[in-house]
Structure 1
Amino acid sequence: AGSTVRRSAGIDFPGTDADTYAYLGDVRADAPPAPGWGVQNEKGALIVAPVPGGLLRFTGYDPEDRGSGRRELTLDELREITGRIGGADFGLRDPAWLSRFGNATRVAAQYRKGRVLLAGDAAHMHFPAGGVGLNLGLQDAMNLGWKLAGVIRGRSGDDLLDTYHDERRPWAEDVAEHTLAQTALITATSPTGQALRHLLGNLIERLPDLSLVLARRLAGLDVRYGRPGELTGSRVAETGGALLDGRPAELVVDGRPVMVRPDGYVGSLL
């Protein structure tokens, strides 16, 4: 997000500064809460989840963090936060990773400037709600990679690289919008905010279509580049059952073009 290349190229990085701060600690706990435990109240939010290596991740929103600019977090501070929000320090010890982070949200004004192309965190930053930034960056690389190869090998004109900005930047703006919206819900610790969360939670539970739309957006799986109703630009797994029988996965693993027909035929073009 602090890309020297982007700054040196003079590419603007417009957006919003952080006004909300969260904490994260991957630690061991002598008295861990039950699996899947979490709490949100007027004192903040705390979620606990297992991570590899026998560690637990304690993370959430701390309304008392006013953003001093200091990103370091000590184990004693994490214990104080979990005690204040969750009612116990859970015997936290042996931290593997401690961090504070904010919700600064920005998207590069240009993904291409001459011979400079931006991808991943250099092109976008946002609150890590849902972890969708990983998919966002990988999809940048996948979109750009085959286009660079085509231009370098002379199969495509240089203007093909302009489509990288046109196709990928809108999805970064989409992620920026919905992570800001998630931040608003995560930090909704007042009685009014809790009522909003309760209402939305009930709607998601009662309306499967709404749940699916939100889940796909959160996971970054709703990305497509074609016009609505067209197969162009849609995800492979959605174009037909024939693509789920295992053989197509073997054909696409090396990134080469694959032909798919409505009758179920799947074959490599190269």
Structure 2
Amino acid sequence: MSAASQYREIANIVRIRVQDGTYARGGQLPREEDLAAQLGVNRVTVNRALKVLVAEGLLRVHRGKGTFVRDLPPLPRHAAVRHSREHRERGESRGALAAELTELGYELRSDNTVGPGRPPEHVAEILGVAPGTDSVIVRGRHMKVIPSEGRGEVPVQIATSYIPRVIADGTPIAEDDSGVGGISSRLAELGYGQREIEERITVRPPTEEESRLLEMADDQRVYDITHIGWTADDRPVKVTTYVMPTHQWDLRYRYPVDPTDG
């Protein structure tokens, strides 16, 4: 077996051991020299294999302590259904993510900022507002998950929503607590119910600030999602940008197709 094949095989063995629970979520792996002895390879091969799994997001390194399995498995994100009113208001939740995490047995903690602000140019263009003035209400959220075992907080996404002030001013959308169902439910109550959702997705390296907030390694990547809510009369009333570690999310899309096809 070649050296390249060998370290990939070791990475796969460790990956399987995480999947079957041999190495528990949040638990520490054996030392590299011990793993090497167990698997009959040298430490350099083990080190290279573990670096692959750190880049994947399966493992994390604590300097001076060792290598650990990530506390949280990838979270499913069912994009086609998560923004229905029934979905986002389940259990009096404040939005889709909070409802989803409760079902999974997790708790959401969010550091929020709310207030008037200037939208990025691409957001201003979508919403048809001025980019150089405080033309939108900006709702910034640094969102973390507390696993059911209570091992601490895991940062999972940075979400920033932009709503035109002509819609949001003087409403709960501009307040810290927007109420059950979040801003999408408030928009519906104001007569701006979203009938169509568009998401534009790219993958890129995180910025230095994003890397710090999301606790990411240098060679990991984020999903950069621009989420647009359109009303029945084709008016964009909300843009949310999501920055999400790719290793932490399982994006799922299911939607109807033309019933005349086939």
TM-score (norm. length: structure 1): 0.23
Task: Determine which structure has the larger strand proportion and give its number.
Answer: 2
Structure number having the greater helix percentage: 1
Q: TM-score, normalised by structure 2?
A: 0.24
